[in-house]
């Protein structure tokens, strides 16, 4: 189990401290952290100095994996532009002369849910570049369609011929707490016929409530996915630009949950 964390908090000094604290306090919890300096890799060879100062600190924690953010606009973005962004991330270490600035893979945002051979080939090419780039330590690929896969994808027999086999992790839900607990969504997420280790769920707008609610949320998410994130932040476009009050509790609950759930 791991926390998947869109770290869109600008790295002013001290702003990433909640992550460092959680990683140090909970060494058995893995953190997959998405770095997004410019809604992508930025137009130059490197991010600004604040990112260059903070990203290497993440590398001092063995339980933190870093991914560069690249949007595909549901494969409507030119594949050449996507590959250029991937290459920029791949060369951060070389251009900075600092191997600790290297990211471990790529988080492809806005990937499609509806299937077509053309879209599959697009995502296959993008993933292939990551897999073949030795500058990415883990050559790790995450897709974020943010939606539950269509019905044909919920059977084990069909999994091998979908986008799911192109990524190490696929985010199958990224919506509000209210939508997550709706019966249709909740039941569908529990019935997905895919290994939990390949799935992530991200829930925002969690109500500020009791510890019991948080415990139930984490336990329920653990039954749906091997990677998840929750936040109490409710402001649109601000879900990932600050650490919510639930962040430290999330890491603590994941430590406890590891003693309760076995990987499916």
- Of 161, 113, 183, 171, the closest CA to residue 141 belongs to 171
Q: pLDDT value at position 159?
A: 54
Q: pLDDT value at position 256?
A: 55
Query: If you search the block for the tokens 């890491």, which residue do you land on?
Result: 251
Q: Which residues pair with 7 in a beta bridge?
A: 35
Could you report the per-residue pLDDT of 128-186, keeping only the tens digit for each? 999 999 999 999 999 999 999 875 554 455 555 689 999 999 999 999 999 999 999 99
C-alpha 151/C-alpha 130 separation (Å) is: 29
Confidence of residue 97 (pLDDT cuts 50, 70, 90): very high
Confidence of residue 44 (pLDDT cuts 50, 70, 90): confident
Tell me how far CA of residue 107 lies from CA of 63, 71, 213, 261, in angstroms. 18, 8, 30, 26
- For the chain, what are the domain ranges? 2-257
Confidence of residue 212 (pLDDT cuts 50, 70, 90): confident
What's the CATH architecture for 2-257?
Alpha-Beta Barrel (3.20)
Q: Which H or E run includes 207?
A: none
- Of 152, 66, 147, the closest CA to residue 101 belongs to 66
Tell me how far CA of residue 175 lies from CA of 43, 226, 239, in angstroms. 30, 17, 10
Tokens found for residue 19: 């992550």
**Whole-prediction pTM value?**
0.92
């Amino acid at each position: 189990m791991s926390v998947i964390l869109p770290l869109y908090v600008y790295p002013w000094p001290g702003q990433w401290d909640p992550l460092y604290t959680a990683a140090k306090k909970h060494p058995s919890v893995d953190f997959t952290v998405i770095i997004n300096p410019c809604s992508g890799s930025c137009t130059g060879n490197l991010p600004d100095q604040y990112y260059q100062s903070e990203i290497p600190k993440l590398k001092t924690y063995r339980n933190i994996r870093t991914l560069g953010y690249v949007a595909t606009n549901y494969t409507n973005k030119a594949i050449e532009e996507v590959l250029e962004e991937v290459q920029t991330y791949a060369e951060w270490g070389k251009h900075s002369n600092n191997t600790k600035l290297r990211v471990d893979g790529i988080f492809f945002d806005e990937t499609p849910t509806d299937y077509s051979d053309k879209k599959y080939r697009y995502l296959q090419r993008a993933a292939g570049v990551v897999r073949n780039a030795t500058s990415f330590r883990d050559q790790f690929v995450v897709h974020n369609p943010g939606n539950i896969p269509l019905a044909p994808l919920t059977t084990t027999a069909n999994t091998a011929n979908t986008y799911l086999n192109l990524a190490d992790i696929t985010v199958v839900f990224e919506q509000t707490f209210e939508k997550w607990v709706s019966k249709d969504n909740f039941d569908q997420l529990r019935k997905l016929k895919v290994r939990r280790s390949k799935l992530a769920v991200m829930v925002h707008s969690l109500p500020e409530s009791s510890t019991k609610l948080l415990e139930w949320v984490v336990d329920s998410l653990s039954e749906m996915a091997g990677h998840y994130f929750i936040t109490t932040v409710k402001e649109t476009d601000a879900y990932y630009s600050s650490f919510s009050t639930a962040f430290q509790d999330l890491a603590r609950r994941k430590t406890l949950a590891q003693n309760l759930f076995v990987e499916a």
